[in-house]
């Protein structure tokens, strides 16, 4: 078996020096050096277009990643493993999932919660799960990640949510696609097979769009938000698919709707599930100038707007 290792940096490629974690040239192959000690048969080739901590990613970096991905001759490999940081894992995974889920090879995006120098790191478990998932020959883009419960969950890349801040755990829309336990990949038979895609040939790969994300919180003052010059606004909801829409004050989303209409900026909202009844706060404003993005994780919604507009 031959795998392309596509490194981008992140904690899984970092070393600890005087109490500081940072990417180093020698760190990007640390996971490979550790893995080849337990598997002498799988062959790897390495492609390293960038080497950064993922919290520092810029749109120009995404352009570099996509251009490098487009250059891959997938016929030469049984699959691809992308090593990446966990902070923006959901965004890069969604990007790759949207553009390359139709590639007829398995692609796994692998991160780590701690440097591989820390024996408690989940990086090697995630990498091993990625290799074993590729052996299954299941095409598409996926993210294997071991949560605090010790289980490596394998998420569809476009379904992944950002990590829980305190637990470092990852979850995905409607639950994981599969799990990796005791060396065995177990698929969820009830997992929805629908995935979001954007044609790489038709996508806007300039990565120049200016998209603002807004997260709701109590007393959010929309009058202070400037939407001038934006290409789109993406508004998230509370977990129930709700937003503040109970009055005509500046704390009501109608203020944002009016601003976007005035500036000609499309306003999208994600956090809504199809076939589910909406709370009045949402249903009362859906017809006032908001485009709902149903059944879509926020990172996927952001990347889809970046690629499609």
Kindly report, residue by residue over 216-247, the tens digit of the pLDDT: 999 999 999 999 999 999 999 999 999 998 77
Domain boundary among 136, 152, 187: 187
Same-domain pairing of 299 and 225: yes
Residues 156 and 16 in one domain: yes
Note whether 41 and 98 are same-domain residues.
yes
What pLDDT was estimated at residue 178? 96
One domain for residues 6 and 138: yes
Quick one: pLDDT band at residue 58, thresholds 50, 70, 90? very high
Percent above pLDDT 70 for the chain: 98
Q: Is the pLDDT at 193 greater than 70, yes or no?
A: no
Whole-angstrom Cα Rg for the chain: 20
Kind of pairing, strands 152-156 and 178-181?
antiparallel
Cβ(233)–Cβ(239) under 8 Å?
Answer: no
Considering the domain architecture, whether residues 183 and 218 belong to the same structural domain is answered as: no
Please check the confidence at residue 154 and state whether its pLDDT lies above 70: yes
Q: Do 162 and 263 have their domain in common? A: no
User: Which region, left, alpha or beta, applies to residue 284 given φ > 0 means left and ψ of -120 to 50 means alpha?
Assistant: alpha
What is the pLDDT at residue 290?
A: 94
| Burial (0-12, 13-18, 19+ Cβ within 10 Å), 213 | middle
Is residue 223 in some structural domain? yes
Residue 236 lies in a domain: yes
- Give which of 136, 153, 146, 128 is closest to 35, Cα–Cα: 128
139 pLDDT higher than 80 = yes
Q: Is residue 148 part of a domain?
A: yes
Predicted pLDDT at 158: 97
Do 121 and 181 lie in a common domain? yes
Task: Report CA torsion sign: 4, 149, 302, 158.
Answer: positive
Q: Is residue 195 domain-resident? A: no
CATH number of the domain enclosing 243: 3.30.750
Instruction: Output the domain CATH number for residue 23.
Output: 3.40.50.1170
| DSSP β-bridge partners for residue 248 | none
Whether residue 176 contacts residue 153, with contact meaning beta carbons closer than 8 Å, is answered with yes
Q: Give me the pLDDT at residue 239, please.
A: 92
Tokens linked to 228 = 């001038």
Residues 217 and 181 in one domain: no
Question: Is 192 inside any structural domain?
Answer: no
Task: State the average pLDDT for the chain.
Answer: 94
Print the domain residue range for 303: 211-308
Look at the chain and report how many structural domains it folds into: 2
pLDDT, position 166: 85
Residue 82 lies in a domain: yes
Confidence grade of residue 283 (pLDDT, cut at 50, 70, 90): confident
Q: What is the dihedral of CA 12, 16, 21, 23, to 10 degrees?
A: -60
Whether 135 and 279 share a structural domain: no
C-alpha 273/C-alpha 98 separation (Å) is 19
Q: Are residue 174 and residue 260 in the same domain, yes or no?
A: no
Is there a single domain that holds both residue 182 and residue 217?
A: no
| pLDDT at residue 289 in the model | 87
What does the DSSP 8-state code read for residue 6? E
Indicate whether 85 and 179 sit together in one domain: yes
pLDDT value for 309? 59
Whether the predicted pLDDT of 286 surpasses 90: no
C-beta of residue 256 within 8 angstroms of C-beta of residue 248: no
Q: What is the pLDDT of residues 69-98, one digit of tens each?
A: 999 999 999 999 999 999 999 999 999 999
Q: Phi first, then psi: what are they for 178, rounded to 5°?
A: -160, 170
pTM of the model: 0.95
Q: Flag whether 218 is in a domain.
A: yes
Instruction: Evaluate whether residue 200 is within a structural domain.
Output: no
- pLDDT value at 111 more than 90: yes
């Amino acid at each position: 078996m031959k795998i392309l290792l596509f490194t981008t940096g992140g904690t899984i490629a970092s070393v600890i020096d005087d109490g500081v974690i940072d990417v180093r040239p020698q760190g990007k192959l640390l996971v490979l050096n550790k893995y080849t000690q337990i598997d002498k048969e799988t062959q790897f080739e390495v492609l390293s277009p960038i080497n950064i901590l993922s919290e520092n990613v810029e749109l120009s970096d995404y352009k570099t990643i996509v251009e490098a991905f487009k250059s891959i001759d997938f016929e030469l490999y049984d699959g691809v493993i992308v090593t990446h940081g966990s902070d923006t894992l959901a965004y890069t995974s969604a990007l790759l999932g949207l553009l390359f889920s139709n590639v007829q090879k398995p692609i796994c995006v692998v991160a780590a919660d701690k440097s591989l120098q820390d024996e408690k790191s989940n990086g090697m478990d995630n990498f091993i799960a990625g290799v074993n998932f590729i052996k299954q020959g299941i095409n598409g883009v996926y993210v294997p990640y071991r949560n605090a419960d010790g289980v490596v969950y394998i998420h569809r890349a476009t379904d992944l949510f950002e990590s829980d801040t305190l637990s470092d755990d990852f979850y995905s829309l409607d639950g994981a696609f599969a799990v990796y336990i005791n060396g065995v990949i177990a698929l969820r038979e009830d997992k929805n097979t629908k995935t979001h895609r954007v044609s790489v040939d038709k996508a806007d790969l300039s990565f120049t769009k200016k998209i603002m994300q807004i997260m709701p919180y109590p007393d959010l003052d929309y009058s202070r938000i400037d939407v001038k010059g934006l290409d789109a606004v993406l508004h998230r909801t509370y977990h129930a698919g709700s937003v503040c829409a109970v009055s005509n004050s500046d704390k009501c989303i109608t203020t944002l709707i009016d601003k976007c209409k005035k500036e000609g900026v499309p306003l999208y909202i994600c956090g809504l599930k199809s076939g589910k009844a909406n709370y009045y706060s949402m249903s009362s404003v859906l017809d006032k100038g908001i485009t709902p993005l149903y059944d879509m994780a926020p990172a996927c919604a952001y990347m889809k707007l970046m690629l499609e507009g």
